[in-house]
Every structure is written in structure tokens, then in C-alpha cells.
Structure 1
């Protein structure tokens, strides 16, 4: 039995909410629709009433298993990342996904680091293979369904939130889509940025006369910097600078160079952010997933693998191409990079 912890992605599957037009629906969410359309998004996905993150996760997982020509009985571990408010408190979505798939007895683990959960999820799969020789096939499932009871999908963190899931069947020693390395950085000074004030154990209910989403996360960000434009600008500069740092570190760990990178796949952010990220990392905007982001919206932790698979399906990535998957998780605050060779 192989003891290598090197893994590759065998196949993926995806599931999305209903496609919606940004310009046609922005007025339903914000008083200034032009501010949203200026972000550059054209469409996004919204889950139908009653459709949960677990529902989309299970749908994506079934497609991934079918595409990989394996059954759930072949899976040694299920790793789930959920990037928004869970369906219930005191409840584990990873176990719920396993139940939906019929994976009885298969170990599961859950990651909740918001839109950065994809990277530690892949790291955990690699770590499980390194520690347990019997772990050969892992199902990584990443899902995002925006809770509109807790937040506004068009006025939360400068993105248009979108509902979707992606699943990847990863196998020890698989020669394609190999995970080479990863790197991360956390700045705990920003731990309270973007937090939702009400609904958790500290403040289960909002004060009388207020709702769960009456406190704007962006407003709390501005307050954190004392509404000082220079301090906020320095914060924005730090976001891109830290990202460039983790890209450099991840490439160094893989023994690769930035000049070898064929494509950078970032979270499905606004077009302004993509320009800043491309400049910071030193890669042309056309070699990012900026165009895909316009039609997908920000699917939380699912962004990177959805876009990776879409670029492969479109023939925009070929055997041997080096890809850096990057992300910034606002709650935390975390920076991540994972290096993949197609």
C-alpha cells in the first residue's frame, strides 16, 4: 500500500441555485443599484426556497462521484467546507452530507473558515493521507448558501453573494490536478471584522425593534478604522500585499517560480479587486478567473474549485499548467494559497 500523501483531483461535480440577473434584481437588495452593478457582476445564483447548503453539497458530491466512476463506498473520508451560516445550531453539516450520500460509517470533518475553507479542506485530505495509509480516496465538498435572514447578499463584503457547491474526488498518487503545496497567513487583529452581531451565543437575539441584519458588517469595518480613509486604504493595501506573500511562500514550498504560473484563480470578487490582485501578484488580468466571476457571483468557499474545473472544461488549462488558487477570508482574517499542477 502506498504511503505517499501526494494527491490529485480525479473529477469534480457542481450544483448551483437558480441564475439571477444582477441589474434586474439589485434594487431588491440595495437603495443604490448602480453601486452594485459597478462591481462588475452580471449574474449570480440564488437557491430556491427550502434548498439548503447540504442539499447543494450532496448534489455536487453525487455528480463528482459519478464523474470519477466511483461509489460512496470507495470513499475513505468526507471533508466538508461550509462558508455561510449553518442550517441549524448544534449540528454538523459534514455528517448531514454523509447521510444524504449514504456514507454510513465513513469519517467526516467540517471546516467553517468562511470563503477560505477550501484550502484547509484540501490540506486536511493530504494530511489524512500522510497520517493514515488506509486513506486512499477523499471526497472534498464545499458549499455556500447565503442566509438572507442574517445578511444582505449584495451589501455584505463588496461582493455579490451566490449560492453553489462543488465537490472533488481526490485520490492518493493521482497524476492529474496535483496539489503541490499551500501557505496561509492570519491577522487576528481583524477577528471582529464583518461579524454578524446577532444570532450567536453572545447575543442570540437582537434588541427590541431591531432585526438580525440591522447592523451592516461594512459599517463595522469603517468604525474599526475610526472612519479614517488613510487607515482604511492601508488595510486594503495590506489585503493584496499579504496575498502576494502567501502566493510567493506556497510557490517556494513547491519549488516553483511565479513566472511558471499559467493562471491565478481567486475568490469571485469584484473587477476592481481582481485588478489589484493581478497587479500585486504580477500576472495579467486575462490569466485570472475575473471573467468567470462576473457570471458566477461569489460562491464563498466553492469559488476556486468551481472556476478551476470551468477553466479545464473550456480548454483554458492543459496538462502541466501551474495554477495558484488564492483567497482571503474576511472573518478572521485569513489569506490562503494552494498550488496545483494540472
Structure 2
């Protein structure tokens, strides 16, 4: 027998404010058609004034705990993936810990931008396999609307706010690829590509948070190859192939990247969970949001083999293979 980190519950939260593409037509040289054809995005959610990343994360975590039938007293730790924390410190994780009434265990943040949830899942999985924890909350939460340059039509129309969460727990498995839970992961980074996607400020440079900057075309050229490559690597680690995958649950950055990666892997789009049209790019929140929606809509079912992959600033990228 071997230990597997199994998903016991999933949940998400989206801010109430829904912003359609037409919202940007009054202030930018853009249109609903321009945004749709280039990104697949139709609308996104923006946090209300005063609503923080930890607020969204707490709501998503509460939904995941309810879905799992787990009390917060059973949770050993919280891992939050975010690039838009409430404060420089303390971590969003500790704020979620307080908000949930959790008075034991540990909480911390992981920062790998859009690949953050893959990194957080990989970290949480390692902690469970090492016996450091039995039950963990793994959360992706972002308020990217706080770091947008509203005069830059190439970036500000792409991003949204939201949060998704999983309850991950230690279960016994047989040790083969028929087990439920996380079966394999692969994470990578290459700092030489920093200028493709970054925020032009920070504590030790400008002393301010800065605004997001992106070289979209250059990033697209890197994304499909790297995403397909990391996906194949993760599948190979556990002795699986692309045809074994029931659902790809990708980072929801851009429909062209999503479809390009699926095509390169030989997986049809009817086996891909797509939420980018409703959420925009929510960075580290996008995969858990898509997982939660996939379960809610009845697509993802117990026993399905899922592949999630993501790429973000750093560049950082990776993939996780898990059986639901």
C-alpha cells in the first residue's frame, strides 16, 4: 500500500460584479468582438472596493469544506497560491486561517503566478506523502484587477478575480495509476523569460505594487510547447498516455493557448474544461475554479483521470495528473 493525496472536496467563489467586454469599449480602442476573437473571453468578475484576496479565498475554502463534509478542526494546514496578496506580509494563508477559525496547524503562500496552483498542489502533495499533514486546504485566489493598467488594452481586458479551493487528504492506495488522488506532477521555471510577463514594481524596487506588463505574442509561442511538454512528462512518470486522460483542466489564460495545447496533445476540445469565457484569466485561481465548475456541471466524476497544466510569469510552468 502507498499514500495518495486525494481530493475530498472542491469549491469556488466569484465576486458579485460581472464585467462584460462591452465595459471596456467606452475607455479603450477595443470591442467585444476584438476581445472574444483573440482570447475567448466574454466576461469576468471584479472584486468590490475593499474586497481582498483573502476574502475570496475564505469563501472558496468554506465551499470546499462543505463539499467535502470536513470541519475546519480536521485541517492540518493551508497552502494558498496567489500573486496578489492583501499585504506584503503576513501571508494570505494566515488570514484565511483566522477567517475560518482555525487555531492550530500552519498556513503559508506559494507564488508562481499563473502556475501557482500547480506549484501549491505539488507542495501539498509532497507534505502529505512525507507525513507532514493528513488534510490540507489548497487554495488559488487572486484579485488581478488591482494590478491592471487600465490604459493597456492588450492586458486589462484579459484578467479577472476569483478563488477556488480543494480539500486534499491522505488515503491509502495500491501504488499504481488506478489509484485516486495525485498520481504525478512536473514543475519547471526559467528566469531568462522574465520580461514576457511581470509586474513593474515591488517592495525592494519601487516600494509600490506596480502594474502588469506582458509580451503576449512571445508568451503564446512559449506556452503551447511548454504546456504540452510538461503534460507529457507528468503522464509518462506514472505510465499513462494522452488517450488515458478523461479531462484536461487547464489554466484558463486564452482559448487559443488552451486549444493549441489540446491539439498538440491529440485531445479533442470536448474533453477540455473551459471556463475562460466566463472568468477571464484569474491566474492561480483559474484551475481550481475550473475544477469546481467541472464538478458542479456534472462533467468531472469520481474516478475520472484529470490533467491540469499551467504557465505563468517567471516563466514558471507545470502539470499535475490526478484521479478524481
Shorter-chain TM-score above 0.5: yes
Match status 1:321 vs 2:294: no
2:105 is matched with which residue? 106
Match of 2:237 in 1: 253
- Asked whether 1:70 is paired with 2:70, we answer yes
2:81 is the counterpart of 1:81: yes
Answer yes or no: is the 8 Å Cα contact 2:56–2:162 preserved in 1: yes
| Matched positions, count | 317
Whole-Å separation in 1 of the counterparts to 2:150 and 2:245: 35
Partner Cα separation in structure 1 for residue 307 and residue 321 of structure 2: 5
- Alignment CA distance shift 1:298-1:238 (3 Å): closer
Question: Which residue of 21, 24, 28 maps to 2:22?
Answer: 24
Structure 1 residue 184 displacement after superposition:
1.9
CA deviation after TM superposition for structure 1 residue 150, in Å? 4.9
Conserved in 1, the CA contact under 8 Å of 2:3 and 2:172?
A: no
- Indicate the structure (1 or 2) with the bigger Cα radius of gyration: 1
TM-score where L is the length of structure 1 = 0.84
Note the C-alpha offset of 1:51. 0.7
Distance 1:69-1:178 versus aligned 2 partners, 3 A rule: same
Q: Name 1:11's counterpart in structure 2.
A: 9
Q: Cα offset for 1:138?
A: 0.8
For 1:197-208, what aligned pairs fall within 5 Å after superposition?
Answer: 197-204=200-207
Q: Does 1:274 align with 2:258?
A: yes
CA deviation after TM superposition for structure 1 residue 29, in Å: 5.6
- Is the Cα contact below 8 Å between 1:9 and 1:169 reproduced in 2? yes
C-alpha contact (below 8 Å) 1:13/1:167 kept by paired residues: yes
Cα distance in 1, alignment partners of residues 112 and 265 from structure 2: 23
Aligned-partner SS, 1:173: strand
In the alignment, is the contact (CA less than 8 A) between 2:44 and 2:279 conserved in 1? yes
SS of the residue 1:73 aligns to: helix
Give the alignment partner of residue 162 of structure 2, picking from 161, 164, 182. Answer: 164
Cα 1:254–1:88 shift into 2, 3 Å: same
Match of 2:272 in 1: 288
Match of 2:56 in 1: 56
- Asked if 1:217 corresponds to 2:213, the answer is yes
* Contact kept? 1:52, 1:87, Cα under 8 Å: yes
1:117 aligned residue:
116
Look up the match of 1:338: 320
Q: 1:29 and 1:188, CA in 2 relative to 1: closer, same or farther beyond 3 A?
A: farther
Q: Secondary structure at the match of 1:183?
A: strand
Q: Which moved more, 1:154-163 or 1:89-98?
A: 154-163
Q: Report the secondary structure of 1:259's partner residue.
A: helix
Instruction: Give how far 1:102 is off.
Output: 1.4
TM-score by length of 2: 0.88
Secondary structure of 2:198 counterpart: coil
Identify unmatched segments of 5+ residues in structure 1.
207-211, 223-231
**Distance in 1 separating the partners of 2:131 and 2:205:** 38
Asked if structure 2 preserves the Cα contact closer than 8 Å seen for 1:153 and 1:161, the reply is: no
Q: In 2, distance between residues paired with 1:72 and 1:55?
A: 17
Q: In 1, are the aligned partners of 2:64 and 2:167 still within 8 Å (CA)? A: yes
| 1:239 Cα deviation from its structure 2 partner | 2.0
Consecutive unaligned residues of structure 2, counting only runs of 5 or more, are 174-178
* Aligned position for 2:197: 194
Is the CA contact 2:135–2:168 (under 8 Å) kept in the aligned structure 1? yes
Instruction: Give me the whole-angstrom Cα distance separating, in 2, the residues matched to 1:108 and 1:262.
Output: 32
Deviates more, 1:20-29 or 1:38-47: 20-29
What is the alpha-carbon distance in structure 2 between the residues aligned to residue 153 and residue 138 of structure 1? 40
